[in-house]
Amino acid sequence: MSRKEKSKKSNYVSRTPGKDGRIPYSDAENEVWHDLITRQIPMLDGHACKQWIAAMHEMNFPKDRIPQLKDVSAVLHEHTGWGVTGVPALIGFNEFFQLLADKRFPVATFIRTREDFDYIQEPDVFHEVFGHTPPLTDHRFASFVEAYGKAGLAADPKDHFMLARLFWFTVEFGLVQSDSGIRAYGSGIMSSPGELIYAVESEVPERKPFDPVEVLRTPYRIDILQPIYFVIESFDQLFELANSDLLGYIKEARKLGMHQPRYEAA
C-alpha cells in the first residue's frame, strides 16, 4: 500500500488510452512485457498456489503485447464483478480505498524500462496486471479486497499506515498453505522471479501463521526481500477476514503495541 502514497515521486508517467479506449504501446514496450511474462510463467510451478495458476489461465494474458485494461476488466467482471482502472503510478490512500470499495483495482499503465527490468520499486503494468488481477477472479479473495477498501474509507487517517500492513502481508506478499507445502499468492512475489523462489524455498525468512493483529503490528520495507511472511490456511481465511471487524483489529493491535522492525532502516 505504501507504494500508492503520493508522498513518493514516480520516475514514470502512466499512459492514457486513445479515443478507442486502448493504449497504443510501442513495440519496445510490448517486447518488455513479452520478456517479463515468458520469464515468470515457467517459475510458477512449485512456487505459486494452484488457485493463482488456475486464475492466470482464466485471465489468458497475451504474451506478445501488454493487455488492454478493458480486456482485463471484461474477464474480471465475468467472474466477480471487478474491473481495473488506469491511474498514475502513485495515488493517495483515499483514492486507493475508494477504488477498491467500488471493485475497481488501480493499474499504473506504464511498463518498466530495460534498465529496471529485474526490479522496479514502483508498480508498473506488469506488476499490476500479471501480479494483482488473477486472484481477483476468486470470489473469496475479491471479497477481502473489497472489504479492505471499505474499511479504509471508514478508518481514521492515522490508521491508514496500519491498514497498509494488512494489504502488504496479504495481497502483496501473502503465502498460503497447500497440500504440497507453502505456496505464494501475493502480487509482489508473483511478479518477481527472485522473491518467488526466496519466499517459498529460502530458509532465511520467517513464515508465520496468519493472524490479523500480528500483521497489523509488523512493520515492513518495500525495497528488500521480506524477512517475514504470513501464511494463510486457504483463501477461505481471507473470506472470513472480509466479514470480520478489520477496524477492531487495529484497536487491538494498538493496545498491544508495535513490533520492532526486523530490518535496518532505509
Distance CA 124, CA 138 (A): 23
Q: What pLDDT is recorded for position 2? A: 39
Three-state DSSP class for residue 31: helix
66 within 8 A of 125, measured Cβ to Cβ: yes
Q: Tell me the percentage of the chain whose pLDDT exceeds 90.
A: 88
Q: What percent of the chain is predicted at pLDDT more than 70?
A: 96
The CA distance from 165 to 176, in Å, is 17
pLDDT averaged over every residue in the chain = 94
Question: pLDDT, tens digit, for every residue of 24-69?
Answer: 999 999 999 999 999 999 999 999 999 999 999 999 999 999 999 9
Q: Count other C-beta atoms under 10 Å from residue 220's C-beta.
A: 20
The domain locations on the chain are 2-256
pLDDT band at 21 (very low <50, low <70, confident <90, very high): confident
Residue with cell 508465520: 208
Name beta bridge partners: 207: 229
Q: Is the pLDDT of residue 87 over 70?
A: yes
| CA gyration radius, the chain | 17
Class of domain 2-256: mainly alpha
Does the pLDDT at position 5 exceed 50?
no
> What span, in angstroms and rounded, lies between the C-alpha atoms of 123 and 192?
12
Catalytic residues: 127, 132, 172, 191
The DSSP 8-state label assigned to residue 170 in this structure reads: I
